[in-house]
Amino acid sequence: MKRHSVGRFIAAAALVAVLLPAAAGAQAIIKVNDDVWFRFGMQLQGWGDWLQNTTNRGYAENLYLRRDRFQVAGSVAPGVTFFFQTDDPNLGKAPKSLTTGFVVQDAWAQWQLNEGFAVNFGKFLVPFSRNELQSTVSFMTLDISPTSTVFLAPTATDATRDTGVELKGYLIDGGRLEYRYALMQGVRLEGSRNGFRNSAYLQYDFLDTERGYVYAGTNLGKKNIFALSGGYDGQGGYHAYSADAFTNLKVGAGDEFAGQFQWAHYDGEHSFIVLPRQNDYLVELAYFISAAKFQPFGKWEQQSFSAGDLKKNDVTRWGAGAHYYVYGQNLKLSAQYLRIMPKAPIKDTNEFTVAMQVYYF
């Protein structure tokens, strides 16, 4: 890896951090009346990434926009809300293209009859696992784990999203128990005559409760969270299960201990033979030091195949890094080192990533 390239990127990010004015604390809302309002937001994540090649041991170097999103949410009637988000992910990454165009990332509407029952329709996150349902703004580490996304291509899922209808609600003691059930498009066979995709997610919060479309990966010492969750995803012979334990605990005057353990089982069976049976694991730990606005983190993840002839494809990853919160999630600098260790006779590789996030919503 060329050290001078890394140095120039970090220096540029630091300069922008100094020059960028602090984001306003209040939310900009266009309000027609108590039941009709709109608000807008944006998310930019610039990444510098150096990924080692397994053969020549050189590094593929990329400076690109990991995410560049425009967001709008609102209410159009009592209990009727919507969310729309565009993105042009990995803009500029090799093979380079700066004219790929924006895609519809999320587009859904919700009619909430009461706390215990709401119906959504549109394009939304598949309700399967906690890590997959976390906000890209506040991941505990740098990004979503590959162990949470192995189902994407075989199930025709777009960036962990699918189109369909979803039922959700909050029950028990002010909403400690959350359920989500979705009937989605999934893979359509010739003539579209096969059954739809079914996905379900159940979570119980023992301390503070959580609401909304996505979950936080870190709350930066503002909430006490201990949640247990489980999920299911299936269509035809394909089935997958997840189980997760997640915590954000306040420590002292504003610090936070964060941790997550997740297990996921995938089996494409005869429906998606490109998704072999496997058990995947994810462990994440982080500690937010509020006085320094600094959060070191570590992660370990493993993809373990069940069939003996596929065990050579097992892969383990571990990594470590840190976030520096200049202004909370509105302006954040991150860095991560990742070690990728395949079981097959392929050499281990390294990946270095630095990132900067500017966010407002």
Q: How confident is the model at residue 15 (pLDDT cuts 50, 70, 90)?
A: very low
Q: What is the mean pLDDT of residues 38-47?
A: 97
The pLDDT-based confidence of 143 (bands split at 50, 70, 90) is very high
Domain ranges of the chain: 3-360
**Model confidence band, residue 24 (pLDDT cutoffs 50, 70, 90):** very low
Tokens of 89: 């992910």
Q: Is the dihedral of CA 335, 42, 21, 30 positive or negative?
A: negative
β-pair type (117-125, 315-327):
unpaired
pLDDT tens readout for residues 222-262: 999 999 999 999 999 999 999 999 999 999 999 999 999 99
CA 76, CA 81: separation in Å to the nearest integer?
A: 6
Say if residues 247 and 228 touch (Cβ distance below 8 Å). Answer: no
Q: Which of 9-18, 99-108, 132-141 has the highest mean pLDDT?
A: 132-141
Is pLDDT above 70 for 121?
Answer: yes
pLDDT at 19 over 70: no
User: Average pLDDT of the chain?
Assistant: 92
Residues 126/209, Cβ–Cβ less than 8 Å: no
pLDDT of residue 11: 45
Name the band, by pLDDT with cuts 50, 70 and 90, for residue 26.
low
Specify the length of the chain in residues: 361
Percent of the chain with pLDDT over 90: 85
Give the pairing of strands 349-360 and 331-342.
Answer: antiparallel
Residue written as tokens 């803009």? 91
In the chain, the N- to C-terminal Cα span, in Å, equals 36
Instruction: Count the Cβ atoms, other than its own, within 10 Å of residue 174.
Output: 9
Q: Residue range 5-34: average pLDDT?
A: 55
What residues form DSSP beta bridges with 246?
A: 227, 260
pLDDT band at 101 (very low <50, low <70, confident <90, very high): confident
**In this structure, which CATH number among 2.40.160.10, 3.30.70.20, 3.30.70.140, 2.30.30.90 belongs to the domain 3-360?**
2.40.160.10
Q: Which of 297, 360, 361 is nearest to 324 (CA)?
A: 297
Encode pLDDT of 189-225 as tens digits: 988 889 999 999 999 999 999 999 999 999 999 999 9
More confident residue, 9 or 291: 291
Cα-based distances in Å from 192 to 188, 199, 237, 239, 256: 5, 19, 16, 20, 49
**pLDDT for the residue 191:** 87
